[in-house]
Structure 1
């Protein structure tokens, strides 16, 4: 099982068990130690993992819950809380332990949320703001990639530090935007007042503009969502036209259904449980753009299935070039093997990664064309 699968599996476990975890110790055992193991560290090896490590500056016997070690030096301190605890109340405790060690990174966690800190502003003094926040109940591919940097096999202190400041600033910008989008602050509103009034502003204008700015932001966001929906519907209409000409499917019925689809979905067959997403269409268009120089692009078609999206030649389920799988937390591209008896799945981070497999796609196209020509000639 690869790292991503381990993290996703742990995420699913947390979602199922969090309401039944009664103590901090249970949180450590059920959620936090499995995370440490997923990061490649042996929790039974004292050279890698030290529970209750001394972090005593005040002679009070202060101890950090866990320390990850490398070459007899702590590289990551982990302070643990019960899974229902609010972490906002405990960052100062971690900062105190941090100052008593030589570690460059510290983690405050309740097993559900992980906040990663560094000492970017002043070495050995923990920054006030984390540079990475990972919510195990709301994981993204980016979160998993950032976690992977702390894996024993990939850990590189300087690489992490080089990206930590950008991540830290990104978190703060997102937080600032969220707050101002919900309730525009004075300075945020003043910027727009000045832009629209020859760089003049006043308290009266700020109060006048604030509710208008809030409505305008909401309107812009809604327009962006609407544009995305319109693109999805247009793509679906294009698909319907193709389907009509080849299979005789009712155009009016399918287009009407498209109008009621959620954002990001361009076609849905409720009876068969098939959902075609905009991302799958985007992947299809990428493959077509790669292969159009080798074959009439009209021959490159697709057929969606319940568990994968297949791109083929001439609409045949037999002569397929590749398969696309897009899940909530991972994406994969599959290629035929052993004369279509098997297929090889390869993880991709984004749809743009498909361009990295241009040569493989060309080889698979040749196989599909060869099969198609053989069977057509045989008829």
Structure 2
């Protein structure tokens, strides 16, 4: 071993691979023979990295000649060497840029894959938003029908197309459908054969004017039960 250090670092800018080397000096992991074996490897690795860094910053004639002699068939004149100094510098900058981009893209792809995997475990966001106006309309229908049936049997079910109100939470027993999220507001009522009848309304308070029709709809379903 000579006097040249085999490991140097700035404690304010310490790198992950340096931390791994320092950990080997902890008393719980200390192995002198392993440290001696690694010291030579670390020393020459550091010196090679320093030389590469110097060549990238300011390439020596020998470094340029190494590449020029392998790619240029003619005589390596001063002019040719000057041209290859620029070519080699540009080539190395492109390689570094490409490698950096590859690492960045790999990290981004990994993060996207992780995000996609996490999203699989999450329920899809509902596109249905129940508005205050729709809930106000539901309360009006409850007030009307609560005189004839238990209010717990009157169930609201919002969809992307309309706000529905059912008897006994049964799709086959629609009481009415409200279309309140469009320019023109409607209430859909149902006759004995369950034909849908649309009526235009200005506000949800207009629902009170269809009290008789709503109560008759409940009667239709009760009469069906009696027949059965």
Normalising to structure 1: TM-score of the pair?
0.29
Between Structure 1 and Structure 2, the one with more helix by share is 2
Between Structure 1 and Structure 2, the one with more strand by share is 1
Larger radius of gyration: 2
Normalising to structure 2: TM-score of the pair?
0.45
Q: Which of 1 and 2 has higher RCO (CA within 8 Å, sep 6+)?
A: 2
